[in-house]
Amino acid sequence: MLQINLNKIGVIVLAAGKGTRLNCTDRPKVMLDLNGQPIVKYVIDTLRKVGFSNEQICLVVGFKNELVKEYFGDTFRYALQEPQLGTGHAVMMAENVMKTKFEHIVVIYGDSPFISEETIRAIVSNNVENKTAVTMTSVLSENYGGSNARFFDFGRVVRDEADNILNITEKKDCTEEQLKIKEGNAGYYCFESKWLWDNLPKIKSHNVQSEYYLTDLVDIAIFQGEKVESVIIPAEETIGINTSEQLEQAKRKLK
């Protein structure tokens, strides 16, 4: 990582969600208390440890966005996503404030407090050194029972016989055979910036949710013959907070 100029890397933090399954009506999901501070603060702290300055970070906000801005003040760049039409749409909203400023763009979730410095460095290093259009992250699960049940909802990483990535298929769009795949999309990315902004408008919402999936960029890159590689990360780093049970699990883990 020492040979990489961090100043050329921008970070988009997706933080617009309502937290519907958490019955969160008075604040955005990322502002829920997690052992004394908002969930998203853990993500920001990790980015700062990696070495990113506030000027390099864009928070994509939506529901009750004023609460995020009140907490962090004017130290970050902000992009507004209203309505929330998926991860791809969220990144589209950040284009105006990020497009011309960076050579590579990291995209992570504001409700994933356990992402590590090592993972962020790994995806940036892969993207820069291997000159990949898309560097994604994935997690391996031997099965979908017990403590691994949460991985069943992850999009599946579909590979060919030579182990090359073919696409990511969201769980709702998977066939029965694809649901058996044990490699799931962890959802953190690093993109070559020019390629990202050139191809983001090509994402379509022709899926069950009628949303713009960031994962579709993997399909686009592969169709173009661009390099797409994945960094496999520890399972605990994929713990997002979408339910009350997951929030309590995160609180226990942090203790």
The pTM of the full predicted model, rounded to 2 decimals, is: 0.92
The answer to whether position 156 is within a domain reads: no
Tell which residue, 142, 111, 104, has the closest CA to residue 28.
111
User: Looking at residue 38, what is its pLDDT?
Assistant: 96
Q: What is the pLDDT of residues 52-82, one digit of tens each?
A: 999 999 999 999 999 999 999 998 999 999 9
CATH for 99: 3.90.550.10
Q: Which residue has the tokens 């970050």?
A: 76
Number of domains in the chain: 1
Say what the pLDDT of residue 3 is.
67
Residue 75 lies in a domain: yes
The CA dihedral of 40, 244, 17, 44, to the nearest 10 degrees, is: 10
**Residue 209: other Cβ atoms inside 10 A:** 12
- What are the angstrom distances between the C-alpha of 220 and each of 84, 168, 196, 215? 22, 11, 10, 9
Question: Could you tell me if residue 70 is left (phi over 0), alpha (psi between -120 and 50 degrees) or otherwise beta?
Answer: alpha
> Which residue stretches of the chain have pLDDT < 70?
1-3
Tokens 């691994």 correspond to: 148
pLDDT on residue 148: 79
Per residue in 154-169, pLDDT (tens digit) is: 999 999 999 999 988 8
In a domain, 172, yes or no: no
SS3 138: strand
Please tell me the predicted confidence (pLDDT) of residue 254.
Answer: 84
3-state secondary structure of 208: coil
Which pair of tokens denotes residue 91? 């990144």
| Domain with 191 in it | 6-138+187-254
pLDDT of residue 1: 44
Is 246 contained in some domain? yes
Predicted pLDDT at 4:
82
- Kindly state whether residue 177 falls inside one of the protein's structural domains: no
